[in-house]
C-alpha cells in the first residue's frame, strides 16, 4: 500500500465534455434527428451563402471609375464607390462638404460624451446638445451667416438628410409625446380631449398621406409668394406623426406605474410637475426603453418615405443615381448598399438601447 502525499495535479476535463467538440456534440449532433437537421441546415446555408459570397466578394469589381470597369460577373461596387460622396452628402456642393463633416463630427462627439458614463458635466453637455447644437447645425448646414455660402435644402440629401430627418424627428417627438401622454391622462377635459383628438388624428392617417398633403396640398393654401421649405414641411409632418405614436408608447409606461407611487409623492407635498418629473416619469421611461427605441427605429426607416415628395434621402439618392444613363443596371448593388447602411444604424440603436436597459436596471424586471 502506498501513500501519496502530494495532490494529484488538476487535469483538464475530458475533451468530450468541454471545448468546441463537446459544444458541437451537445448542440448540433446530440442525436440522429438533430444530426440530420444540422446537416440539412448546413446544406441550405451553403446553397444560399455560396452564390451570395461569390456575387458580393469573389466575382465583384472594386476599382474603377465607370461602368466599363465592371465585368458584370458579380457585384459592381465601382458604382457605389463612384457615388459614395453623393450617397452620403446628397447634392451638397463639393467645396462645402467640410461643413457637413463638422456637424457630423461634433454631433458624434456630443453623443459619445453623453453615452460614455465616466465623462463629467453631463447636464451641461445635454443642454448644449439640445439647445446650442441645433442652432450650430442649422448655421453650418444652411449657411448665410459668418460668410458661409447658403446651401439650399434642395441640395441636401443622402445619408445626411436621412440623419437630419431621423434625429430631428426623434428629438422633437419625445418631449411632445411625453406632454401628449400626460395630457391624455389628465383630468382637465379640454386638455384631455385635445390630446385624444390630436393623437387619434395623427395616428389614424398613414405617414405617406401626411407627407403628401404637406407637399401637394399645403402650398395651395398658402398666400401667394409665401412658400414653406419642402424639408421643413416634411420635418413638421414627421414630428407630429411620430409624437402621436410616442405618446401612446409613453402612456403605456405611465399605466404600469402603480397609483400608490403618485399618491405617496402627493403625500410628501409635491406638486404635479414634481410628481411626474421626479417620481412617475423616470420609472415609466425606464420601462419603456424597448418601446421608445422601437418607435425610433421605425421612424428611422420611415424617413425613406420622403422620397415620394421629391426629397433625396439615402434611398432616394440611390434611386436617382440608378437613373443616370451612365450607370444604368446597378440596382442590386445600390439597394444592397442602402440596406446595409440602414441596418448599421438600426442595429447600433438597438445595441445602445440594450446597454441602456442593463445600466438602468434596478430590479423592476421580473
Contact 240, 180 (CB under 8 A): no
Q: Write the CA distances from 62 to 49, 81, 159, 233, integer angstroms.
A: 20, 8, 22, 39
Interface characters, 127-156, with another protein (x: CB under 8 A): -------------------------x-x--
Interface characters, 230-269, with another protein (x: CB under 8 A): x---------------------------------------
Using CB under 8 A as the binding rule, whether residue 312 contacts another protein is answered as yes
Among 74, 90, 177, 334, binds another protein (CB under 8 A): 90
C-alpha–C-alpha distance, residues 184 and 194, integer Å: 8
Copy the grid coordinates of residue 277: 418629473
Using CB under 8 A as the binding rule, whether residue 309 contacts another protein is answered as yes
Using CB under 8 A as the binding rule, whether residue 101 contacts another protein is answered as no
Copy the grid coordinates of residue 15: 475533451
Q: Kindly state the smallest distance separating residue 327's Cβ from another protein, in Å.
A: 8
Using CB under 8 A as the binding rule, whether residue 8 contacts another protein is answered as no
| Stretch binding another protein (CB under 8 A), from 82-90, 136-144, 189-197, 340-348 | 82-90
**Residue 133 or residue 337: which is nearer to another protein going by CB?**
337
Which residues are paired to 313 by β-bridges? 158
Copy the grid coordinates of residue 35: 444530426
Using CB under 8 A as the binding rule, whether residue 63 contacts another protein is answered as no
Using CB under 8 A as the binding rule, whether residue 314 contacts another protein is answered as no
Conformation bin of residue 26: beta by default, left when phi > 0, alpha when psi is -120 to 50: alpha
**Residue 154 or residue 301: which is nearer to another protein going by CB?**
154
Using CB under 8 A as the binding rule, whether residue 221 contacts another protein is answered as yes
Place of cell 406605474: 257
Place of cell 460622396: 85
| Stretch binding another protein (CB under 8 A), from 56-64, 120-128, 258-266, 319-327 | 319-327
Using CB under 8 A as the binding rule, whether residue 99 contacts another protein is answered as no
**Residue 83 or residue 251: which is nearer to another protein going by CB?**
83
Burial class (CB in 10 A: 0-12, 13-18, 19+), 324: middle
Using CB under 8 A as the binding rule, whether residue 322 contacts another protein is answered as yes
Widest Cα–Cα separation across the chain = 111
C-alpha–C-alpha distance, residues 306 and 319, integer Å: 13
| Stretch binding another protein (CB under 8 A), from 46-54, 81-89, 169-177, 337-345 | 81-89
Three-state DSSP class for residue 86: helix
C-alpha–C-alpha distance, residues 236 and 219, integer Å: 14
**Residue 172 or residue 309: which is nearer to another protein going by CB?**
309
Q: Kindly state the smallest distance separating residue 313's Cβ from another protein, in Å.
A: 12
Copy the grid coordinates of residue 231: 424639408
Contacts of 4 (CB under 8 A, 6+ apart): none
Contact 250, 177 (CB under 8 A): yes
Among 310, 348, 351, 359, binds another protein (CB under 8 A): 310
Under the rule (CB under 8 A), what is the footprint of another protein? 67, 72, 82-83, 85-86, 90-94, 152, 154, 212, 215-217, 219-222, 224-225, 227, 230, 307-310, 312, 316-317, 319-326, 328-329, 331
Amino acid at each position: 500500500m502506498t501513500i501519496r502525499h502530494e495532490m494529484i495535479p488538476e487535469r483538464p476535463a475530458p475533451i468530450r465534455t468541454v471545448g468546441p467538440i463537446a459544444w458541437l456534440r451537445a448542440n448540433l449532433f446530440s442525436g440522429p434527428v438533430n444530426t440530420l437537421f444540422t446537416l440539412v441546415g448546413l446544406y441550405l446555408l451553403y446553397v444560399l451563402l455560396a452564390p451570395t459570397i461569390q456575387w458580393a466578394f469573389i466575382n465583384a469589381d472594386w476599382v474603377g471609375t465607370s461602368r466599363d470597369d465592371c465585368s458584370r460577373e458579380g457585384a459592381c461596387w465601382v458604382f457605389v464607390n463612384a457615388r459614395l460622396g453623393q450617397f452620403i452628402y446628397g447634392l451638397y456642393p463639393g467645396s462645402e462638404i467640410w461643413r457637413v463633416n463638422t456637424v457630423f463630427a461634433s454631433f458624434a462627439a456630443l453623443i459619445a460624451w453623453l453615452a460614455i458614463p465616466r465623462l463629467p458635466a453631463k447636464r451641461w453637455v445635454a443642454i448644449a446638445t439640445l439647445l446650442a447644437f441645433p442652432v450650430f447645425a442649422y448655421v453650418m448646414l444652411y449657411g448665410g451667416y459668418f460668410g458661409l455660402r447658403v446651401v439650399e435644402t434642395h441640395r441636401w440629401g443622402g445619408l445626411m438628410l436621412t440623419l437630419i430627418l431621423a434625429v430631428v424627428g426623434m428629438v422633437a417627438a419625445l418631449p411632445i409625446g411625453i406632454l401628449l401622454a400626460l395630457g391624455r391622462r389628465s383630468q382637465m377635459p379640454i386638455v384631455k380631449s385635445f390630446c385624444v383628438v390630436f393623437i387619434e388624428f395623427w395616428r389614424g392617417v398613414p405617414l405617406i398621406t401626411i407627407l403628401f398633403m404637406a407637399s401637394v396640398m399645403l402650398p395651395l393654401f398658402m398666400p401667394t409668394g409665401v412658400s414653406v421649405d419642402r424639408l421643413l414641411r416634411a420635418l413638421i409632418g414627421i414630428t407630429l406623426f411620430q409624437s402621436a405614436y410616442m405618446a401612446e408608447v409613453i402612456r403605456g409606461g405611465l399605466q404600469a406605474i402603480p397609483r400608490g407611487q403618485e399618491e405617496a409623492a402627493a403625500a410628501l407635498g409635491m406638486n404635479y410637475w414634481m410628481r411626474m418629473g421626479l417620481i412617475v416619469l423616470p420609472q415609466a421611461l425606464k420601462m419603456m426603453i424597448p418601446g421608445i427605441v422601437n418607435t425610433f427605429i421605425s421612424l428611422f426607416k420611415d424617413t425613406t418615405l420622403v422620397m415620394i415628395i421629391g426629397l433625396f434621402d439615402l434611398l432616394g439618392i440611390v434611386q436617382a443615381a440608378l437613373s443616370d444613363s451612365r450607370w444604368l443596371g446597378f440596382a442590386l448593388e445600390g439597394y444592397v448598399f442602402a440596406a446595409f447602411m440602414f441596418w448599421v444604424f438600426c442595429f447600433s440603436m438597438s445595441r445602445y438601447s440594450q446597454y441602456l436597459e442593463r445600466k438602468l436596471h434596478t430590479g423592476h424586471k421580473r
